[in-house]
Amino acid sequence: MTTSRITPQAEDAPSANKMVQSLGLFSSTAIVIGSMIGSGIFIVNSDIARVTNSPALYLGAWVVTGIMTLVAALSYGELAAMMPRAGGQYVYLRESFGPIWGFLYGWTLFAVIQTGTIAAVCVAFGKFLGVFFPTVSTTHWLWHIAHVPAIPLGPMVLGNMEIGVNTANLTAIAVVVLLALINLFGVRLGALIQNIFTSAKSLSLAGLILLAFTIGINATAWNANFGLHWQKFWQNAGLHTMHPVQVGVGGPTAMVNLFVVLAVVQVGSLFSADCWNNITFTAGEVKNPKRNIPLSLVLGTGFVVTAYFLASLAYLVVLPMHGDPAGATALARGIQHATEDRIGTAALQQIFHSGGAELMAAAVLISTFGCANGLTMAGARVYYAMSRDGLFFKSVGKLHPKWRTPAAGILVQAAWTAVLCVSGSYSQLLDYIIFAELVFYILTIAGLFVLRVKQPQAERPYKALGYPLLPALYILMAAWVCIVLLRYKPQYTWPGLALVLLGIPVYLFWSRRPEGRTGKAVSG
């Protein structure tokens, strides 16, 4: 029988290179919540509303996202309790399917998923800082290097990027560096920042929801979205109703049913609810990880998906779904045509009429800073685990002798993130990688079934709730989303797969190095 037996990781390492278990349940849950809530919930609802064109399906998209996220978190809980090691999902894939699958996940995480998300979140921070300081803008160039024109490639468009330094991405780079420094000085400091900002952003989101359902309820919006005895709510949500979806970029328009359209819009809603798995990366620093990681996954994802659903419902009671793209007010433009898709800002402008943009900008600044901090803290632990297996730079597998943090991993991550900020490619890369992320989630949860067979006697302090039905349900739902995206949104699929496959020659290079040979599967 072939199993993966890799270089010992943090918990087995000598004390000089051993991580400090200092994250309790609150801090672990804060990492889950803080990594999930960025700027997406304040933006993606406009696009979901345009594609679904139905209040019921608009909310249905978030129900699908909530079910998938909660089921995945419940399934990951078993793996986290079984293997509470630094690296999390990388370790689960390595142990289930072999070192190359773990490496391909870690490679994609470093190349795009983690670093690209940090870049996107930090640039969003810079953009919203511009509400208070207008000189901070993506159009205020300090050094414009080049414009990469759009290059049509079948149903995809590559390029169309501005390369250089403007005041917004310079602000983003400053935040990247600041958070790297914070997380260098021990996990306790990073966790403290995470706890503070996660609490603040949770209160901000709760405040938006509370305001919407109290002083924000608008009669025009209510009648437009729920009127005529809820007939308008269910409008365009029938089983036989067909919805127009553009195939690829500039491609033909296809008419699809509600099951397809709900899968198409998961590009926005699932991405907004992503990164909940980051707590598994920091398992080596969590107190009582066999209990606290599964519990934090459930508590954190449960809170966020509930808050996201309520926030999406809140938008419906404040603004009509349909509106005029040329409307002069937030109420006139509606959810579908909110200015630059900033639906959160539009909702607060409708509630307060003045000062709404500033309030939302402040909330997004808090949200994005906390999100970027959680991602910065967690990501470096995966590269640490890869290095310990001989599949990444050797220095990344060492902890700082005083602070017990993967200092080299944090710095390498920050450097590549800064490059993505300057290149302007992060947004496009993140579009490409959504499909690949879903594939890795499917594989990881399939690993539950594999490990139940390969390692039946392994200690499982927590077993996945509803196994095997719920994990199988996730695999089926995620597979359906992947099939739909392959068919109707190829611009989100094939480039992502190509990025993942680029990791194969990189893996072959690392695994053939002397320090990488222990990363190969051996008989046992």
Instruction: Determine the Cα–Cα distance for residues 4 and 6; give it in Å rounded to an integer.
Output: 6
- The model's pLDDT over 178-221, given as tens digits with 9 standing for 90+, comes to 999 999 998 889 999 999 999 999 999 999 999 999 999 999 99
3-state secondary structure of 92: helix
Q: What is the mean pLDDT of residues 4-8?
A: 40
- Indicate the pLDDT class of residue 15, thresholds 50, 70 and 90: low
Segments forming the whole domain that contains residue 239: 21-517
Asked if residue 465 is part of any domain, the answer here is yes
- The model's pLDDT over 220-263, given as tens digits with 9 standing for 90+, comes to 999 999 987 788 999 999 999 999 998 887 778 999 999 999 99
Asked if residue 16 is part of any domain, the answer here is no
Asked if residue 292 is part of any domain, the answer here is yes
Both structure tokens of 297:
């996954």
The CATH number that applies at residue 404 is 1.20.1740.10
Asked if residue 27 is part of any domain, the answer here is yes
Asked if residue 3 is part of any domain, the answer here is no
Predicted TM-score (pTM) above 0.85? yes
Asked if residue 8 is part of any domain, the answer here is no
The pair phi, psi for residue 142, each rounded to 5°, is -100, -30
Specify the number of domains making up the chain: 1
Instruction: Determine the Cα–Cα distance for residues 236 and 291; give it in Å rounded to an integer.
Output: 45
Asked if residue 10 is part of any domain, the answer here is no
Q: Specify whether the backbone of 97 is left (phi greater than 0), alpha (psi in -120 to 50) or beta.
A: alpha
Give the residue ranges of DSSP H helices in 321-468. 330-333, 343-352, 356-388, 407-423, 426-454
Q: What is residue 64's predicted lDDT score, i.e. its pLDDT?
A: 97
Asked if residue 61 is part of any domain, the answer here is yes
Q: What is the mean pLDDT of the chain?
A: 89
- Indicate the pLDDT class of residue 346, thresholds 50, 70 and 90: very high
